[in-house]
Amino acid sequence: MTSLPRLATRVSAVALATVICMPALAQDAVGDGPAIDQAAEPEQSGDQTEIVVTAQRQRGSVDTDVPPVIELTEADIASYGADSLADLIAQLGPQTGSGRGRGDGRPVILVNGQRIANFRELRRYPPEAIEKVEVFPEEVALQYGYPADQRVINFILKDNFKAREIEVEYGGSLEGGTDNGEIEVSQLSISGPQRINIAAEFNTTSMLTEAERDIVQTPGTQPTVATDPDPATFRSLQGGSESYELEGSFNTAIGEGADAKAISANLSAARNYSRSLSGLEIVTLTDGTESEVRTVDADPLTRRTRSTTISGGGAYRQRIGDFDFDATLDGTYSDSQTDIDRRRDLSILQDQVDAGLIEIDGPLPVIPGTGADRSNSTTYTIDSLATLRGTPLLLPGGEVNMTLDGGYKWNRIESDDTRTALGGVQLTRGRINGGINLGIPLTSRREGFLDAIGDLTLNAAFGVDQLSDFGTLTDLTLGLTWNITDRLTLGATWVNRDAAPSLTELGAPNVQTFNVPVFDFATGDNVLATVTTGGNAALPASNQNDFKLSANYDLDLFERASILVEFFDNNARNTTESFPLLTADIEAAFPDRVTRDGAGTLIAVDQTPITYAKRNSRRLRYGINLFGKVGKARPEEESRGSGGGRPGGGGSGGPPAAGASGPPGGAGRMGPEQFQQMREQFCASEPGTVPDLSQLPPFIRDRLTNEDGSVNPERLAQARERICTADGAGGPGGPGGFDPQQVAAIREALCAAPDTPIDLAKLPEGLRQRLTNDDGTVNEERLARLRTAICQAEGSQAGEGQRRGGGGGGRRGGGGGGPFGGGDGQGRWSLSLYHSIEFQNTALIAAGVPELDFLDGDASGQSGGVARHQVELEGGLFYEGVGARLSGKYQGPTRVDGSDTTGAQDLYFGDLVTFDLRLFANLEQQKWLTGETPGFFKGARLSLRVDNLFNTRQDVVDGNGVTPTRFQPALIDPLGRTVSLEFRKLF
């Protein structure tokens, strides 16, 4: 009896022309089907009406059995209205954020399934250059040499794209006081493996002061003489800043086919300036009977920062035997200089009052400034990583995936401060790392090995880091992925990892900020204190011991739908944490961090990082992702005539070349006349030369190119032989001929309504045999896979209907033409909703000290404790060139206990709900504006963004319902509701 893999890959034996030219039949048969070597000769049989269904992965997709969290097609991407890939990732926050709570939260970025040197090389790419986006859970990061604490995003690029872009944005707070602007220009060219991108950006933000938000001043700091300047005018809530950035990247391939070598390089330079105000100097003068609080003059304490960052990187990739070799190198130089005005000695004023030279409420003499203190910080980073990925071993359950990784990272920080007599700090770290990751298939439905269990894969990873300052650190990861069915996947992962604090956490310069509002939990007072930030050289290495359970289920709803459930149990020792709110327990644990005067008034706090002896947390995170279409699809001929296509010419989504027709009669179908036209175009070039593949549909190009986009000469020659010779592509009814009537009959028999019995008598004999068991009964699993392969292709040029894969390529969705549209005229909608529940979140500062419970009265940071419930929402609608996106966040309430000793009251941090709204319109699709010819509006988009739509701010009150001065809503969120308008144009 024919095996299931054979059925999935050779339902019948038609000529390769049918494989290549019929997307409805040549798309992926099933999500876990084996890839077909296109060099293989078609098996001949007596039945010449057979059909080949290949299960080849889409070019550039990630080779893994772990199901993606979400996948976005070209039409889905357009519905987000993003102006860059960085913007798109920001909008995908609920799906791309790691629930482990480890690392820096940034996902691993891949391009066409391959590592890159750094995300900066493509962060400014326009989303129109992307064919598909895949988001994978943290476990997939191990395959690329990264720890399992960050999710993986894979961008599959179009293989032919050109665009120049200009973007202008202006916005500000609706409450006034501050505004911001941005100008960005870029140029991107993609031609197969060759990519060139150049971009420049300028940003500016104006200062916002406390006076512009009517901030109530801390008691005892407001001048009592009416003619004195108001300190609120000279204390900034948001500093003013300017930034300039220039960057470029280059990617190319050397050679062709399997021996091709890919190289890339990127370089960027940025300069930033910022200025903030720390208020005025205040003195209390007394004449023995009365006293006055005075501001000396209108010269504020100012903090000025200038920073320069230069970054560069490169990557090299080639095939070595059966392995993929990748090497990346990334380097960054950053220099920061901060000048902080010194306080003046104001005791001379009291001396003059005592001498009778001035009145306490009269004019004050000029006191000259004493200059500024300066802190400097220079950091150097060189990071290299090489990986070797392949399948060295074949087991009964399938091939073993192996990744070997090794690298070297060098960091150095040099910092100094004029306020210390101890000299500067120089820290250097060298890190040699190596590791191995194995993906071992234990059972397999595809291979027929213990297939009743499903697909069970063991993942094991081990790594060693040798640090020059912390010695040997190790990490071990074990995991199981269980694909029970095509829809349901379960996972379990255990991670034990040592981690060293960063050099910045250890050696950043200590910077003092004057007149910072601080709430003193010990006394219940609001004070202006001097706050010190920077590094802490005494931080130890930590150990993380984490366990994760996950379930991913694809629902039969709308176009695509899935549910993700994750449970995390994190335990760590000697963790580095930011300094929390200064409660009585924290002050008791870190008494040397607090400075008080003789009266017990808080005057200074050292907020450099601290260490917790233990940190434990348990949380559940679950969510749903929904994707659907709106509107009625228009005929393909009308869609093609709308002028849809990418800027710069052909490729997926573009119109057919002059004299060539696309698939008529609905996407995914090709009649004899259209096949003949495509055949003539393909066969016009001389043997040994490369024809113009840019005019071919993307599903054909994917089968004729390698993963890096270069043409595979062997596949091209075989395709030419089968298509361009008489016996390879005969007419209908001939040997290997294309018979649309036969195909239509098969499609009609298989693709009836789900509850309609299938009449197998309408199928060819060879196909019927492959769908029946030895006893003559129908093999329901094979039949279901075949129906999925054929029926989900209908109406989709590249499998957009697939629940997993979502189809790369295809025409642009959302309706309309130009850089933003095309497609079938239907709109797109999506909704993602995630809920996190914290069951435990505790910390132990040291042995013998009471444990801190951040869910029940202790503070984990400067914003209270940890909320037990958090909700993330992201959704939108895009139709006829007009779109709307809405994102929302909910954070539950928390409480911070006061002091039983001093009687300071508890603080209650209220729950908070915020929504952000984005409205955008592709102007070239608005006929009421452009008429029949878009002219200037071609490739133009106008966007309106409203952040914090309902102007909500967190309320913080004590037991009496009074808001402490430190926690005024405008101090927590100075901007409130902000609005920005953006004009973007692609040329």
What the block records as the tokens of 860 is 């984990």
Residue 775 reports pLDDT greater than 80: no
d(CA 561, CA 554): 6
pLDDT of residue 695: 55
Identify which of 785, 790, 784 has the alpha carbon closest to the alpha carbon of residue 747. 790
Residues β-bridged to residue 325: 318, 388
Lowest mean pLDDT among 63-77, 623-637, 643-657: 643-657
Percentage with pLDDT > 90 across the chain = 55
d(CA 247, CA 694): 29
Within the chain, how many helices (H) and strands (E) appear? Answer: 18, 39
Q: Are strands 525-533 and 602-606 parallel, antiparallel or unpaired?
A: parallel
Per-residue pLDDT tens for 245-283?
Answer: 999 999 999 987 777 899 999 999 999 999 999 999 999
> Which pTM value belongs to this model?
0.76
d(CA 940, CA 925): 9
Letter string b/e over residues 431-459, b meaning 16 or more CB atoms within 10 A of that residue's CB: bebbbbbbbbbbbbbbbebeeeebbbbeb
Q: Which residue has the higher pLDDT, 50 or 280?
A: 280
CB 15 within 8 A of CB 720: no
Residue 388 reports pLDDT greater than 60: yes
How confident is residue 525, by pLDDT bands cut at 50, 70 and 90? Answer: confident
How confident is residue 790, by pLDDT bands cut at 50, 70 and 90? Answer: low
How confident is residue 434, by pLDDT bands cut at 50, 70 and 90? Answer: very high
Distances from the Cα of 6 to the Cα of 3, 50, 221, 680, angstroms: 5, 14, 82, 32
Per-residue pLDDT tens for 389-408?
Answer: 999 999 999 999 999 999 99
What the block records as the tokens of 614 is 């233990």
Identify which of 191, 256, 43, 39 has the alpha carbon closest to the alpha carbon of residue 720. 39
pLDDT of residue 101: 65
How confident is residue 850, by pLDDT bands cut at 50, 70 and 90? Answer: confident
Residue 652 reports pLDDT greater than 90: no
Residue 673 reports pLDDT greater than 70: no
Helix-helix angle 713-724:672-683, to 10 degrees: 130
pLDDT of residue 28: 38
Per-residue pLDDT tens for 854-912?
Answer: 999 998 887 889 999 999 999 999 999 999 999 999 999 999 988 776 667 889 999 99
Lowest mean pLDDT among 50-59, 123-132, 793-802: 793-802
pLDDT of residue 683: 75
Residue 682 reports pLDDT greater than 80: no
Q: Taking residues 76-101, what's their average pLDDT?
A: 86
pLDDT of residue 753: 60
Q: Taking residues 351-374, what's their average pLDDT?
A: 92
Q: Taking residues 208-226, what's their average pLDDT?
A: 92
Q: Which residue has the higher pLDDT, 648 or 581?
A: 581
Distances from the Cα of 371 to the Cα of 288, 302, 341, angstroms: 33, 11, 6
How confident is residue 699, by pLDDT bands cut at 50, 70 and 90? Answer: low
Average of per-residue pLDDT values in the chain: 82
Q: Which residue has the higher pLDDT, 568 or 901?
A: 568
Amino acid identity, position 537:
A
Lowest mean pLDDT among 175-179, 416-420, 622-626, 772-776: 772-776
Residue 714 reports pLDDT greater than 50: yes
What the block records as the tokens of 574 is 């000697």
Identify which of 891, 801, 751 has the alpha carbon closest to the alpha carbon of residue 559. 801
Alpha helices in 754-806 (DSSP H): 765-770, 780-791
pLDDT of residue 281: 93
